[in-house]
Amino acid sequence: MAWFKKREPAAQEVKAVDALWSKCNVCNEIIYKKELERNLNVCPKCGYHFPISAQKRIAIVADDGSFRELDRDLAPVDPIHFRDTKRYLERLKEAQKKTGLKDAFITGKGNIQGSPVMIGVFDFSFLGGSLGSVVGEKIARMVEKAMEERVGVIIFSSSGGARMQEGILSLMQMAKTTAALSLLRRERLPYISVLTDPTTGGVTASFGMLGDVIMAEPGALIGFAGPRVIKETIKTDLPPGFQRAEYLLKHGMIDLIVERRKLKGVLGRLLGLFYH
């Protein structure tokens, strides 16, 4: 007869633990969530940069109270009546309820260390930060506003690429956003691209890699096709750290890697140089 029996934790106990603690995806350390938040969602043990929401990103880099959102109510529709296991409209409603956003991208004007700038931020939790018609339109409008007000543009990318549920219309956003940024460059206004984990597919193949300065957070996965797809295609092992920010920096694909805690300061200095 057993004297002791292992008891499975109740669902509410699991939720309570999850509410207090997080596990690092790299070093597997258990971290108190309040400590993690104080550290801007960067693991204090190994420096792993946890994904963060678009709103939190804006709060980190923009001067307090300076950010004013644009095109808040611009929302996607279902142009090709796409359906897989669910209708596209159902997936949109679920993502909107989960995130409180209309789509995967927030734009607005704010100040960074006193310098005015247009800011665009992806939220990966909305359908993988995918690039659809609304995202492309918001980027184009943001660039037009930047030219009108003679300020620069910063885009924080975190995306799985073009949104397949919109078919060719999503791929067209690559050309649309590239054309918009070419007009910004013609006006000699700065564009800074900040690549976070992950930035892949059509976002990398368009505006993600078009910045006057291209920077990334440490360890960010950056590429077009994923490493697993590439490995299966070329039938050979990939170099250590392939497609990570450090690998791209070494091979001249990006300009610098900046830790999240230092990002606002670096952006502020760059904007100061561009404007003066």
Q: What is the pLDDT of residues 253-274, one digit of tens each?
A: 999 999 999 999 999 999 999 8
Mark whether 107 and 41 lie in a shared domain: no
Residue 2 counted as domain residue: no
Average pLDDT over residues 44-51: 94
Task: Write phi, then psi, for 154 (nearest 5 degrees).
Answer: -125, 130
Task: Write phi, then psi, for 164 (nearest 5 degrees).
Answer: -60, -25
Q: How confident is the model at residue 191 (pLDDT cuts 50, 70, 90)?
A: very high
Mark whether 55 and 156 lie in a shared domain: yes
Average pLDDT over residues 58-79: 97
- Round to whole Å and give the CA distance between 107 and 167: 24
Report the chain's mean pLDDT, rounded to a whole number: 93
Task: State which amino acid sits at residue 49.
Answer: H
Q: How confident is the model at residue 275 (pLDDT cuts 50, 70, 90)?
A: confident
Helices (H), 26-117: 33-38, 54-61, 88-99
- Round to whole Å and give the CA distance between 186 and 14: 55
Mark whether 59 and 31 lie in a shared domain: no
Reduced to 3 states, what is the DSSP secondary structure of residue 70? strand
What's the distance, Cα to Cα, between the start and end of the chain in Å?
81
Range of the domain at 158: 51-275
Q: Is the pLDDT of residue 243 over 60?
A: yes
- How is residue 265 written in tokens? 């300061």
Q: How confident is the model at residue 19 (pLDDT cuts 50, 70, 90)?
A: confident
257, burial (CB in 10 Å: exposed 0-12, middle 13-18, buried 19+): middle
Q: Which of 201, 145, 209 is nearest to 178 (CA)?
A: 209
What are 84-118's pLDDT values in tens digits? 999 999 999 999 999 999 999 999 999 999 999 99
Mark whether 18 and 112 lie in a shared domain: no
Residues belonging to the chain: 276
168, burial (CB in 10 Å: exposed 0-12, middle 13-18, buried 19+): exposed
Residue 165 counted as domain residue: yes
Mark whether 92 and 191 lie in a shared domain: yes
112 touches 271 (CB < 8 A): yes
Model pTM score:
0.91
Rounding to the nearest 10 degrees, give the CA dihedral for residues 237, 238, 241, 247.
160
How many structural domains is the chain composed of? 2
Residue 1 counted as domain residue: no
Find tokens 């596990």 and name the residue.
23
What are 2-18's pLDDT values in tens digits? 565 666 665 554 454 56
Determine the pLDDT at residue 14: 44
Q: Which of 175, 174, 177, 156 is nearest to 105 (CA)?
A: 156
Find tokens 């008891």 and name the residue.
7
Determine the pLDDT at residue 8: 65
Mark whether 24 and 44 lie in a shared domain: yes
- Round to whole Å and give the CA distance between 122 and 105: 4
Mark whether 173 and 132 lie in a shared domain: yes
Mark whether 36 and 162 lie in a shared domain: no
- How is residue 276 written in tokens? 């003066």
Peptide bond preceding 51 in cis form (omega within 30 of 0): no
Q: How confident is the model at residue 248 (pLDDT cuts 50, 70, 90)?
A: very high
- Round to whole Å and give the CA distance between 253 and 91: 35
